[in-house]
Structure formats: C-alpha cells, structure tokens
Structure 1
C-alpha cells in the first residue's frame, strides 16, 4: 500500500506537470498566432462594416463576404470610445468584453487574455489600442481554443488512465515483492508461534541471502540454538544433581532409620557402632553441604555477569591464602612454590575458590609424601602434582559438570570442582587447561592464564 501510494503521488505530480506544460505550450501557440494577426495602420484598413450600441445589433448588420478578413484565422471586434461595437466585413462571432478592455490599462501595447465568444466557446483574445476615424478604440482579435481544450481534456483522460494503471501495477508489484521479501518473516512468525505453543526450543528457519531479513533469521537461529543448549544444560544439571544427591541422602536415611528403629525397640546400639554411624552421618552432611555450595556456584549463567562485583584482586595473595588451606588438607605433602605479584580484575571470593579447587584436586591425587609444584609468573598459574595423571581419552571431559574419572569414583568429591574453576576463569577473561605433566613426568598439570598487570593499577 505504501508503494502504491508513493507511485500514485509520483505519477500524479508527473502527470500534472506534463498537463500544465502542454497547456502552456498550446496556449503559447495560440498567442503566437494572434501576434501574427495584422494590425490596422496607415497602409491597412480592417474595413469596419457595421457598428452598433451592442454586439448583437452590430453583428446582425454585417454583410457576408467570401473575402473575410483573414478567412477562418481570426475574429475581430472593435470597441469604439463612446460604447460603440463595430465588426469588419464577414464577421460571424461576437467576443465577450470586459470593462478593463475599454481602458486597456493605459498601455499602448497589445495584451493577451483568455476569454470566450458570446456563445461561450473559449478563445484567446488580443487587446490592442487603435484609432478609428480619429477616435480612440480597442480592437479585440480572438482565435478559438476549442481544439486546445479538447486536446487538453483528451490528455487529462490519458494521464488519468496511465496513472490508474501505474498505481494498480505498482500495488500488485509491491505486494508481490513484499510477500517475497517478507516470506522469511512469515516463517519466523510461524516458528515463534510453534515454540510458544509447544515450548520446543531449537527450531530454526532456512537463511537465504545477506540482507537484513537474512540477518534477522540468522540471529533468531542463534538464539533458538542457544536456548536449546541452555535447556539441555539445565536438564543435565538437574539430572546429575539429583543423581549425586541421592547417594548421601540414601545413606543418611538408612542410618537415621536404623537409629530410630533401635530406640523404638529398646535395643540400644553399641556405643562404638553408634559413634561410627553418627560420624558417617556427619560426613554425609558435610558432603551435602559442599555439593549444594557447588550447585549454587554453578547456577550462575555461563556468560560473565556485568553487574557482578569486580575489583582489583592481588592474585598472588589469593594464591598464598589458598596454599595455606592446601597445606592443611595435605599435611604430609611438600609444596614447592614460586608466586610473583600479579593483579587482575575479578571476584576475589570466586578466584580464591577456584585456586583452592585446583589445589584440592592436586592433593587428592598426590601420593603420600608427594610434591605439589605451584608457580605464578606473569599471570600464568601452574599447579602440578606427581600422581597417576589423567588418561588422554578422559581429558576432553575434565571440565564437564559432575564428570568423574572411573578410576577415582571411590574418592570423595562431586565432580563440580573443575567446572567451577573453568567458569570462574571464563568470567575473569582468562583461559584454563588441564593435561599431563610436562617433559613426560608423572602427574598432571593445570594451567590458568589471567589478564592483568604485575603492579597494582591506579
């Protein structure tokens, strides 16, 4: 509709301009024709044949002649001072006069105006001051404009027809083009309605071309895929969390049921057995507490939160505090450290927990009286243990949530520690990797690279 309206306006303006141009040209031709009409002078007499007080009386007394003045070219009428109207021989038409014709504005030059004959036929009229028998007079010379008016009317009808066809054609073409161009939008609408109705995220639409509609379709496909991946991760997290929570909850329920049943039956358990059960329940509660904390940590979105508290963190001090806690958890282990100043922008608590998780992982897999090497140089933190290492086929999964190596399932842990490390490092803008120890030595080595500066920024 907008295209048709724009074309209609353009055609209307063009048609009007064309019509007025043709009109001015035809009228100018009529005027030129009148300019060529002879003017009375000493050597030319227009030969007035009859005069009267009004045009009808004077025209009735004009004799006919085969030698009409400029036969079929002009019609002449003279207004003599005093109100007389005169016609030359052979005149057949009277010209409507205006009061201004008698005065002629006091100009001795000819003027031109549009007017009409007495019978209403349109005409182009030349008004020229003349002298008749010593008296001031005005000669009106007219040429008919009926042919001009007929031509203009025909042109107007032609322009109207062309404009109508142009508007209809533009409307049809605009509709076809719009439907073709907006077809991806219809597809996008159908897909959005389908997702809203069925909640089946991940549906995509075909992308054709490189225009704005194609970009919109590409953005929608990316969003739909991201939503599908997010739902899949959420579903997997819930399933894995339920699986991990089930084991300690089952153990707790079994121990509680046993204690309740022994008290109800009046058969108290031996003190040693009761103490062992309570210790086991306490360990299960601690495992649940750690697991819930890890789940809360991983419940944050995978993308960095711009509203999170990010400050300048002396990362070397964070590593130092984590080492103190690591030594408490592995009192028989030797820690070789080389920690140099490094300042980063991030969440202090999250960074400290990430380093502690790396150290816990190293402590867990280190042999008794083993050595853990910790180094921080130019923003590169390495934590190496001398344990059994990680098989090559398991390396792609070490940062997955709830993933645990088959060889370490008997060890404590929830499988979330390294996932928390990876998420924290990503939030800080860094990179983390875990692989075999360098130079073919025993154990594994974790590497964290964080952007920052060796001196505290001001």
Structure 2
C-alpha cells in the first residue's frame, strides 16, 4: 500500500503531458500483453490439439501378434533391456508401452523410450490425454487407454514427444515479449507527441491567462480550431475574457458618467459655499432673501446628490442571487399601492386612476417598490398640472400611463441607458438613472419592461412592466 501511495503521489506530481504519455503507454502495454497472451494460448492449444489428433489416429497394437511381439519385464528398464537391439523397427511412429496393474511393463519390438506412469492412469475411464515425461526427462503427450494382458487389467500408453512444440512456444513467447516491449516504447513516444499536439491549445490558453494576470489586459482571446472539448474550452475562455472586458468598460463608463453627473451639483455647492464664506470674511452680509435662496439651493443640491448616490448604489448591486437562496414571495399589488401613495405626495395636483388586482411574485420588495416609484416619478414629472396618471395591474402586467408630451420615437431605444436624459428634459431634476434601475430590477425578477407612446394615439407615455407570478399566494 505504501508503494502504491508513493507511486500515486509521483504520478500526480507529473505534468499533464507526462501523465498522458504514461497512461497511453500503460494502456498500449496492457492491450499488447492481453493480445500476446491470448495469441500464445491459442497457438499452444492449436499445437497440442494437433498432437492429440495424431495420437487419436494411432491404432492400438495387438498383443501376441507374431509380427508384433511384446517384450515384458518387472520394470520399464528391465523390459527395455529385453528388446533386441537388432530387431526391426515397429510399424508405429509413436512410442508405445503396456503397463499392467501388478507392475509388469511391455514394449513392442523397436522400442527405445519408456514413459513414466501415474497412479491416475489405472483409475481413469475411457481414453484420456495428458502431458507426461519419458524416463530420460523429455516431455510427451500421452494417450491412456485401458487394455487387458493375459486376463490382467492394464493400460496402454501411446506417446509423442512435444519438445519441438514447447520450443516453438518458448520462441513465440520471446518474440511476443520483444514486440510488446517495442510497442510500449513506441506507444510512450507516440503518446508524448500526441499529448504535446493535443495540449497545444491548453498551452495557448495558459499563456493567455498568464498574460492577462501579468498585464491585466482583459479581452485577450486565443484562436479556436475544431469542435472538440479543447475548442469548447477555448471558446468559453474567449467568452469569459470578452465578458470581463465588457464589464470593465461598463465600470469605467459608469465611473466616468457618475463623475460627470456629480461634478455639476458639487460645483454649484462649492460656488454657493464660497459665496457665503466670502460674505462672512469681508463683513458684507448678504441680504436675508439672497442668503435664504442660497441655502435652499444648497439643500436641493445635497438632496440631488443623495438621490444620485442612492441610485449609483442600487445599480452597483450584483445580479447574482443572494446568499439566502430563492427570493421571498411578495404581494406586488400591495407594493403598487404603496408606490402610488408616494406618487400622490410627489404630485399633489395630479389625479391618480388606480385599478389593481392581486398578484404575487418572487423578488425583493424594496427593489420592486423603488422600480414602481421610479415609473411613477417619470409620470408625475412630465404630466401637466391637474392631469391624470393611470395605474393598472392585471395578471402581472403593470401599466403606468401619463398625458405629458411623450418621448420622441428616435429616443426610445436609449431610455433605459444609464445617465441618459432626453435633450428636452435636461433642465428638469433627475440623474438619468431611474429607468436603468427599473430595467435592472425587472431583469432580476425575470420580467420585462417597455416604454413607448400611448396606445390610443393620444398624448403621453405608457410604461409596461410584466412580472411572472400568480393571482393567489403560493
């Protein structure tokens, strides 16, 4: 186990290219070893089957035939000694001997080799083939058959040498071992080359990541070839790098726009404060009406700064889900009612026509109320004195309609952009972030929002917000 642990630790400490080469070589080695072993066993079985087939064709000698005498003895050595050296060769090309149960051994004329018997030879039934050995140590394939000699139970052993077969198998094993070794070496080299070629996109990706980490130049991309997993990884990296670049550009643009919007009220505040300080330093007091007007302007500018900073904080929130999990279910119709009450305070001379049906959604109640208030603020800001503001909520579709001058068609594509303000409304209070906050809040709730002219062709603008939900509480 310790050796296995050290081997695993060594393997994990290698580079991916080295691990791929090692795994490739190991896989090829196992495949070659299995194929070589299967081939060797197949050849061995074939060769042995040929030897057995040859033994099966050998007819048994007939004891006592005149032209085929048997020479017997109490042992194999004693029987072989009785075989005349000048006797003609027996008609068999197999080595044959007859062994009785009492230990008598008989050989036909011309025999010169004796086989070792086994106790199982006398207990077996039918014809049996087994591997055996000669008395001189040579290997043989033996056919065992039951016979009878002068009324005594005996076995007839017919054998054929298999040394040539074993030598062939040994040579085949050496040849296959050599081929397997060369195959493993070739697989290792090939695996190294394949790993280097296959991981080239990964090297390019690593270089690109290191370049971004070193220079902070987001937006760097790498070429994509093919449609495999590496190509998908490269495409994902390019998408991520482009998204980071877009995010940085949006952040830079937001900071620049925020700085531009903050500069105007801060400059005005600074001018008013300088005027008050100069008045105190010179001892020339400002008229009470002028001083009161300056202080009122400063208060309005501070309120504008407060609203602007709040809007910026709202827009800077991440779009990712909150740690608490899924948003809570909130009564959107109650949120609309509260927003309408706030709208009445901001436009006391306007007539609010409200028709709200129950609708429950999942989302942030405070963010949704701020979004609805922003829509109502726009309606209040552009409505004529005493004009109506229609607010309708049916089946998750909130409609806020005013009767003001409306928005030109060429300006509609920009109404949800941050800090964008219509040229005709530059003199009105606001930061140009209200509708951006509405769009972000609706997007986080998986809804839709749109702004356009009144559908009946009359004056004014209609804002439509759609939120997924249901009419009864889940």
How far does residue 416 in structure 1 lie from its aligned partner after superposition?
0.7
Matched residue, 2:455: 438
Distance change (3 Å), C-alpha of 1:268 and 1:151: same
Asked whether 1:25 is paired with 2:53, we answer no
How far does residue 91 in structure 1 lie from its aligned partner after superposition?
3.2
* C-alpha separation in 1, matches of 2:108 and 2:383: 134
Unpaired stretches in structure 1, ≥5 consecutive residues: none
How far does residue 174 in structure 1 lie from its aligned partner after superposition?
5.0
* C-alpha separation in 2, matches of 1:270 and 1:16: 111
TM-align CA RMSD: 3.4
Asked whether 1:344 is paired with 2:363, we answer no
- Residue among 386, 397, 410 paired with 1:393: 410
Matched residue, 1:384: 401
Q: How does 1:69-218 map to 2 (within 5 A)?
A: 69-70=90-91, 73-77=93-97, 87-95=107-115, 97-98=116-117, 100=118, 104-106=121-123, 111-127=128-144, 140-164=157-181, 166-168=183-185, 170-171=187-188, 178-218=195-235
Give CA-to-partner distance per residue, 1:140-177, whole Å, 9 cap, x none: 44321122122222332343344445545555555555
* C-alpha separation in 2, matches of 1:286 and 1:308: 35
* C-alpha separation in 2, matches of 1:329 and 1:191: 54
Q: Answer whether contact 2:63 2:70 (CA < 8 A) is retained.
A: no
How far does residue 32 in structure 1 lie from its aligned partner after superposition?
3.4
Q: Answer whether contact 1:309 1:347 (CA < 8 A) is retained.
A: no
* C-alpha separation in 1, matches of 2:180 and 2:326: 66
Give the 3-state SS of the residue equivalent to 1:11 in structure 2: helix
Distance change (3 Å), C-alpha of 1:352 and 1:31: closer
Matched residue, 2:15: none
Asked whether 1:457 is paired with 2:470, we answer no
How far does residue 181 in structure 1 lie from its aligned partner after superposition?
4.7
Asked whether 1:300 is paired with 2:322, we answer no
Q: Answer whether contact 1:114 1:123 (CA < 8 A) is retained.
A: yes
How far does residue 54 in structure 1 lie from its aligned partner after superposition?
6.6
* C-alpha separation in 2, matches of 1:44 and 1:199: 107
* C-alpha separation in 2, matches of 1:377 and 1:195: 50
TM-score, normalised relative to structure 1: 0.84
Asked whether 1:7 is paired with 2:31, we answer no
Asked whether 1:41 is paired with 2:63, we answer yes
* C-alpha separation in 2, matches of 1:267 and 1:46: 157
* C-alpha separation in 1, matches of 2:148 and 2:341: 129
- Residue among 379, 384, 408 paired with 1:362: 379
How far does residue 211 in structure 1 lie from its aligned partner after superposition?
4.1
Q: Answer whether contact 1:108 1:129 (CA < 8 A) is retained.
A: yes
How far does residue 266 in structure 1 lie from its aligned partner after superposition?
4.3
TM-score, normalised relative to structure 2: 0.81
Unpaired stretches in structure 2, ≥5 consecutive residues: 1-21
The 10-residue stretch of structure 1 (273-282 or 409-418) with the greater mean CA deviation from structure 2: 273-282
Matched residue, 1:16: 37
Q: Answer whether contact 1:399 1:419 (CA < 8 A) is retained.
A: yes
- Figure out how many residues of one structure are paired with residues of the other and give that number: 451
Give the 3-state SS of the residue equivalent to 2:400 in structure 1: strand
Distance change (3 Å), C-alpha of 1:209 and 1:344: farther
* C-alpha separation in 1, matches of 2:111 and 2:411: 118
* C-alpha separation in 2, matches of 1:457 and 1:204: 48
Q: Answer whether contact 1:312 1:343 (CA < 8 A) is retained.
A: no
Q: How does 1:211-360 map to 2 (within 5 A)?
A: 211-302=228-319, 305=322, 307=324, 310-332=327-349, 334-345=350-361, 346-360=363-377
